[in-house]
A and B are shown apart, each in its own frame.
Chain A
Amino acid sequence: MNPFSRAAGKIAPLDCSNVDTDQLVPKQFLKLVQRTGFGKFLFYGWRHNADGSPRPGFVLDDPAYRDSKILVTGRNFGCGSSREHAVWALCDYGFDVVIAPSFADIFYSNCIKNGLLPARVSEKDAHMLMQDAEAEVDLESQTITAGSHTVPFEIDPHSKKTLLEGLDDISRTLKFEKEISRFEKDSRIPSVL
């Protein structure tokens, strides 16, 4: 994973709370066995009619928001299914940052694993940022600057470190081999083989 320090670009506003991962990537696209190519399925159901024909009017299809790098949205973003495909789709589409008042837990964790920054801001700041055209997001200082204003965002220290250093979680964990083995030796959990 590439280290993340800052991102800058156009903002796409999606003023909606409880956006679930079924909306981010509908189930018919979960049958692929690779991690790539999900960008075209992002918000598929909101961008297409039930018969598959394009449905105009969705924010990402507005030329003003084409090539946006930053999605600003409502609280509890990414709720529902644990499908990591939702994050793969956001990344593949071109988003570097999602800004929201809160995120669903599994979605948040999936973001970190894929180098997508989930930035928590207040409801007020989220609504203010939805009015802005562009922003610059700095992870080290945990700030978002848009026009003349700068607002703080929250991220837990472990996730921040993971993103800043572009850490591979598994290699890091396997450094604790001794501790894991010791735990296994003391544990009496029966096998299922």
Chain B
Amino acid sequence: MASTLFEKIWDSHTVTDEGGSSLLYVDRHLVHEVTSPQAFEGLRLGGRGVRRPDLTVATMDHNVPTSNRSLPMADQTSEAQMRALERNCDEFGIRLFGMGSPNQGIVHVIGPQLGITLPGTVIACGDSHTSTHGAFGALALGIGTSDVEHVLASQTLWLERPKTLEVMVSGVRQNPRAVTAKDVMLMIIRRMGTGGGAGSVIEYRGKGMTDLSMEQRMTVCNMSIEAGARAGMMAPDEKTFEYLRGREFTPKNYESLVGEWRELRTDRDAEFDGTFELDIGGMAPQVSWGTSPEMTCDVTEDVPDPGEFAAGDESRLRAAQRALKYMDLEPGTPIREIDIDRVFIGSCTNARLEDLKEAADVVRGQKTAPGVRAMVVPGSQMVKRQAEQMGLDSVFEDAGFEWRESGCSMCLGMNPDILGPGERCASTSNRNFEGRQGAGGRTHLASPVMAAAAAIHGRFVDARELV
């Protein structure tokens, strides 16, 4: 029978079925310091071990300081959580890329970079942005802490079979340097809504998607969760195989695996439970104006009227009114007249080498606008080293940006990198929720190019006029 990419991976990983749910085998379990301590404690209380430490990898990313790491940590509770991960990994024999490791970084950046992420695998991690790894043709699932414990103990997960949703992206971006993968994904979320993918696994298809580089595909799959989806994925192709070839943990029998992975795609006659179509031909760069990623518009548009945005939906109306109040924005204000205080280039969405290169191209030879504080937080130590070899650190620093150590940083502000109350930030991260980047902070989601341009001009500008 013809099947989709998702179905092929699901079926090949089903250990058993019971009462409408399947027990799925997990090939790769990624662990970080925030969602794992209670899981390890649960193992100890239950007298259980880690079934497959050889399929488990840990890093520290959410809490780590991005400033000088030779200094003692300012935040004792963060430090305690990181020490707990060290002890747990030591006790259960799990490989850890700790704060001093050259491989440390955001879990969703290092997995692919190290060749730990592979096509056709099931990957689980106690983090919603695990969907990132779907860019490699993996079924990558974000899970809660109880499920982290479950995977540690059994290397499996119970899941109700999700629906399949095809997101078909056609057309060619007119200026791909200015209109990026981030803009395409924000547009998809804007159109589908933050609950649009609920209960589904998305497969991104069409020329608009296959044209993308691996790093751009990761940006798209990363934000599948912002469209409400259980996971997002793309069929692997030659770009995928080339990206993974020769990485530190790429399997020794890689070429024979590639032969098998070439078959890993949705069959011609396979059917999806639903389809969403988008033509990206004339698309503009996107900027979010509210407190949900679906509250996004073109950079050339104005902040919408809540009534117009709600289109007759009461709860949508209240959400938009509340969002504008929180964001301190008036309907009808042009996006390009919004002044910003801070710029954050980072996160598992947009802190890879290509992202930093694109941002640097806008910044080179310029200065940040007076009063704007801008920072670049590479996604991993490897990204940081590569960027420094290309001289990108100097490009940013010469322009007045701060060049930091790798971690999640101000995407969620668990470390000292936070917005002050009322501060307005152009951010390459994935969530503009109230207080996400700091209590009272105001987040506008945008691409690295758009965020970099905002740093130089002190307000949003249309990247198509610059690159």
Q: Which of A's residues lie within 8 Å of B, judged by CB?
A: 15-18, 20, 22-23, 26-28, 30-35, 45-46, 50-51, 74-76, 79-84, 87, 102, 104-106, 109-110, 113-114, 156-159, 161, 169-170, 173-174, 176, 179-180, 183-184, 187-193
A106 to chain B, nearest CB (A): 6
A193 to chain B, nearest CB (A): 4
Partner of B144, one of A20, A82, A158: A82
Does B175 reach chain A (CB closer than 8 Å)?
Answer: no
Decide if the interface of chain A is mainly helix, strand, loop or mixed.
Answer: loop
Stretch in B11-19, B210-218, B455-463 with 4+ CB within 8 Å of A: B11-19
Docked Cα-Cα span, A28 to B412, in Å, equals 9
Partner of B194, one of A33, A45, A76, A193: A76
B53–A193 CB distance below 8 A: yes
Q: Which of B's residues lie within 8 Å of A, judged by CB?
A: 15-16, 18-21, 23, 25, 27-28, 34-35, 37-38, 41, 46, 48, 52-57, 62-63, 75, 77-78, 80-81, 84, 95, 116, 118, 121, 126-128, 142-147, 149-150, 153-156, 158, 160, 162, 194-195, 198-199, 225, 228, 230, 249, 251-253, 292, 294, 315-316, 318-319, 322, 412-414, 421-422, 431, 433-436, 439-440
Chain A neighbourhood of B54, CB < 8 A: 191-193
A16–B318 CB distance below 8 A: yes
Chain B neighbourhood of A158, CB < 8 A: 18-21, 158, 160
Docked Cα-Cα span, A113 to B151, in Å, equals 14
Chain A neighbourhood of B57, CB < 8 A: 192
Q: A33-B41, A33-B84, A83-B144 are in contact. Are A180 and B15 (CB under 8 A)?
A: yes
A189–B77 CB distance below 8 A: no
Docked Cα-Cα span, A119 to B144, in Å, equals 19
What are the nearest 3 A-B pairs in CB distance? A50-B440, A191-B54, A113-B146
B19–A191 CB distance below 8 A: no
A146 to chain B, nearest CB (A): 20
A170–B194 CB distance below 8 A: no
Chain B neighbourhood of A76, CB < 8 A: 194-195, 198, 228
Docked Cα-Cα span, A83 to B249, in Å, equals 29
Chain B neighbourhood of A180, CB < 8 A: 15, 23, 25, 154-156
Chain A neighbourhood of B154, CB < 8 A: 170, 173-174, 180
Docked Cα-Cα span, A84 to B144, in Å, equals 5
B315 to chain A, nearest CB (A): 4
A79–B228 CB distance below 8 A: yes
A27–B252 CB distance below 8 A: no
Closest A-chain residue to B62, C-beta based?
Answer: A30
Q: A180-B155, A192-B54 are in contact. Are A34 and B146 (CB under 8 A)?
A: no
